[in-house]
């Protein structure tokens, strides 16, 4: 079955750029979405169809997808961006989630 792989954790300093990767076989042939989940809260969609931002999501969130890797980029990272981030794709009539990446802003 198809699998998406994310690094367990990423650290970034406030104001810097955070990049979270998501890898899978021929991932560029699929559309990738990204979700942010803060402790005790429901996930929130931050990127869909590789690089589209839902209304209300700050412009500092962007996405890309090329080759076998999709990337969520957070520019000018703020303390409130500290959260778990999950990538997601669709494969053979199934929703696939990555294992999640804990973003620490320190």
Q: Please report, as ranges, the residues that interact with another protein according to CB under 8 A.
A: 1, 29-31, 33, 35, 37, 42-45, 48-50, 54, 84, 86, 88, 90, 93-100
Closer Cβ to another protein, 44 or 68, answer by number: 44
For the bound state, the minimum distance from the C-beta of residue 16 to another protein, rounded and expressed in Å, comes to 25
Distance of CA 17 to the CA centre of its chain: 14
For the bound state, the minimum distance from the C-beta of residue 3 to another protein, rounded and expressed in Å, comes to 13
* CA distances, 31 to each of 3, 50, 70, 74, 82 (Å): 14, 6, 9, 19, 25
Across 53-64, b (16+ Cβ under 10 Å) vs e yields: beeebeeebbbe
For the bound state, the minimum distance from the C-beta of residue 52 to another protein, rounded and expressed in Å, comes to 9
């Amino acid at each position: 079955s198809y699998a998406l792989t994310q690094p367990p954790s990423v650290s970034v300093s406030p104001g810097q750029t955070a990049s979270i990767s998501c890898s899978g076989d021929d991932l560029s042939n699929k559309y990738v979405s990204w979700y942010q989940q803060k402790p005790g809260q429901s996930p929130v969609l931050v990127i869909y169809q590789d690089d589209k931002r839902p209304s209300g999501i700050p412009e500092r969130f962007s996405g890309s997808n090329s080759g076998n890797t999709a990337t969520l980029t957070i520019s000018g990272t703020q303390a409130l961006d500290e959260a778990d981030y999950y990538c997601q794709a669709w494969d053979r009539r199934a929703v696939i989630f990555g294992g999640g990446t804990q973003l620490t802003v320190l």
